[in-house]
Amino acid sequence: MANVVVVGSQWGDEGKGKIVDWLSEQADIVVRFQGGHNAGHTLVVNGTTFKLSLLPSGVVRPGKLSVIGNGVVLDPYALVEEIERVSAQGVAITPDTLRIAENTTLILSLHRHLDELREGSNSGTKIGTTKRGIGPAYEDKVGRRAIRLMDLADLESLDGKIEGLLAHHNALRRGSGLPEIGAGTVRQELTRIAPRVLPYMDRVWALLEDKRREGKRILFEGAQGALLDVDHGTYPFVTSSNTVAAQAATGSGVGPGALDYVLGICKAYTTRVGQGPFPTEQDNDIGRRIGDRGREFGTVTGRRRRCGWFDAVLVRQTVRTSGIRGLALTKLDILDGFDEIQVCVGYRLHGRELDYLPASAAAQASVEPVYETIEGWRESTAGARSWAELPATAIKYVRRIEELVGCPVALLSTSPERDDTILVQNPFES
């Protein structure tokens, strides 16, 4: 039986929540493998809306095991708050239903303070982060000074690790004219939360291998989108982790052979939150029309998203960097009523034509989209559950996207409701 990886194939916010929820019903285990509580999924189950940030989408489904992998950076206080909020909605979350990798890096309050300081500074590049400490926590992980979940179980060795962490952070604070943080403050922060999170700790790499041998279906749930990948995205306007599909293996402790099918989620148009290049952005009435109809506001931040036409160049590139075998195309209904729809099929840069997004930040900011005009449709696609219910011109639009990105559409979503989905190919059976 196939194990499936779900990744965003644009800049995030593609509607992964609904698709992951739809797939999680067929899975036995759902694994989050990167990111933190800066990413959000909205799920609607039996009329109840769940807003998740750290918890895998499988937690709202009885009988599923949810796993937070080592590739995630974990704010333990945010986790406990989210568990309490979701539990109040009638979902039982216990160590029997949720496991967290023992080697997961922790986000502390000092990480949030540093994130806020940088984003509020008048110097340097503003990335448009959520100011939740994600980037600084990943920096400490790579710098080999991070405190990990397992460290909370060994309080005797915690003091030395705190000193090593503060040697770095207090130097930064002194340079910014801020008071130093005492080791006792950090120790108290950690010891207070330890009993609330340690019961969920596990050797996730071993757990997942055991489940694989039992023949269990595993769904690997990515956060954000491939264009925010720290290596393959629009650097430096990216997140601090790898968001491409290969990270599912690294961020959960399984070998790459465990990843059988990669499903890429993309909207029928394009959106982006925060700063950075966006070749097809429509900062005009068209963009506002798309944004209003699509309710394009961030699940976590509430920020209005930038909107634009579908960029086939970018999605074709992420199909390749993530090894995507099928696309889940979402929000087709938002394009209902347009007389004409533009699709970006290439770029121009200083008189040259390109069929890819260059890696240079200066070049990314300078590319001009080359558009192909496609006939729109007046009929409604909202709620369609079969190809027969779609206008012929809408089907032509979907087929043209498949041709341009070099990847078939496996699922087509026509509303936020989970059942308003046209299934072409079931990833778990491919």
pLDDT one-digit tens code per residue, 35-58: 999 777 777 777 788 888 899 988
pLDDT average, residue stretch 77-87? 96
Q: What is the pLDDT of residue 61?
A: 87
With cut-offs at 50, 70 and 90, classify the pLDDT of residue 128: low
In order, the DSSP letters of 224-291 are S-GGG-TTTSSTTSS-SS--STTHHHHTTT--GGG--EEEEEEESSEEE-SSS--TTB--SHHHHHHH
pLDDT average, residue stretch 392-418? 94
CB neighbour class for 138 (10 Å; exposed up to 12, middle 13-18, buried from 19): buried
> What Å distances lie between residue 65 and 27, 57, 94, 199, 333, CA to CA?
9, 10, 10, 15, 33
With cut-offs at 50, 70 and 90, classify the pLDDT of residue 415: confident
Three-class SS of residue 336?
coil
Q: What is the pLDDT of residue 344?
A: 98
Q: What is the pLDDT of residue 123?
A: 55
- H helix and E strand count, the chain: 12, 20
With cut-offs at 50, 70 and 90, classify the pLDDT of residue 29: very high
> Which amino acid does the sequence have at 230?
V
Residue-averaged pLDDT of the chain:
93
Q: Quick one: the chain helix, strand, coil %, rounded to 5?
A: 35, 20, 40
Strand partners, 342: 373
The rounded Cα 193 to chain-centroid distance in angstroms is 26
Q: What is the pLDDT of residue 129?
A: 63
d(CA 259, CA 249): 7
Q: Cβ(181)–Cβ(173) under 8 Å? A: yes
d(CA 234, CA 161): 34
Strand partners, 51: 42
Q: In 3D, which of 280, 234, 243 has the Cα closest to residue 127?
A: 234
Sheet of strand 326-330, all strands in order from the earlier edge strand to the far edge = 201-202, 98-101, 65-68, 29-32, 218-221, 4-8, 261-267, 326-330, 409-413, 421-423
Q: What is the pLDDT of residue 1?
A: 65
Q: What is the pLDDT of residue 33?
A: 96
Tokens of 27: 């899975």
Name the percent of the chain lying above pLDDT 70. 96
Q: How far apart are the first and last CA of the chain?
A: 9
With 80 as the cut, is the pLDDT of residue 280 above it? yes
Q: In 3D, which of 56, 52, 1 has the Cα closest to residue 26?
A: 1
d(CA 321, CA 202): 31
Helix/strand/coil (H, E, C) string of 39-79? CCEEEEECCEEEEECCCCHHHHCCCCEEEECCCEEECHHHH
Rg from Cα positions in the chain: 22
> Would the pTM count as exceeding 0.75?
yes
With 80 as the cut, is the pLDDT of residue 120 above it? no
Strands 368-375 and 340-349: antiparallel
Q: What is the pLDDT of residue 237?
A: 95
Q: For the segment 313-350, what is each residue's pLDDT rounded down to a tens digit?
A: 999 999 999 999 999 999 999 999 999 999 999 999 99
With cut-offs at 50, 70 and 90, classify the pLDDT of residue 125: low
Q: Cβ(232)–Cβ(321) under 8 Å? A: yes
With 90 as the cut, is the pLDDT of residue 238 above it? yes
d(CA 300, CA 306): 16
Q: Cβ(300)–Cβ(40) under 8 Å? A: yes
Q: Could you tell me which residues come within 8 angstroms of residue 383 by beta carbon, excluding any fewer than 6 positions away?
A: 333, 414, 415, 417, 420
Strand partners, 135: none
Q: What is the pLDDT of residue 416?
A: 81
d(CA 268, CA 253): 33
With cut-offs at 50, 70 and 90, classify the pLDDT of residue 94: very high
Catalytic residue numbers read 13, 41
Q: Cβ(164)–Cβ(145) under 8 Å? A: yes
Q: Could you tell me which residues come within 8 angstroms of residue 172 by beta carbon, excluding any fewer than 6 positions away?
A: 114
Name the percent of the chain lying above pLDDT 90. 80
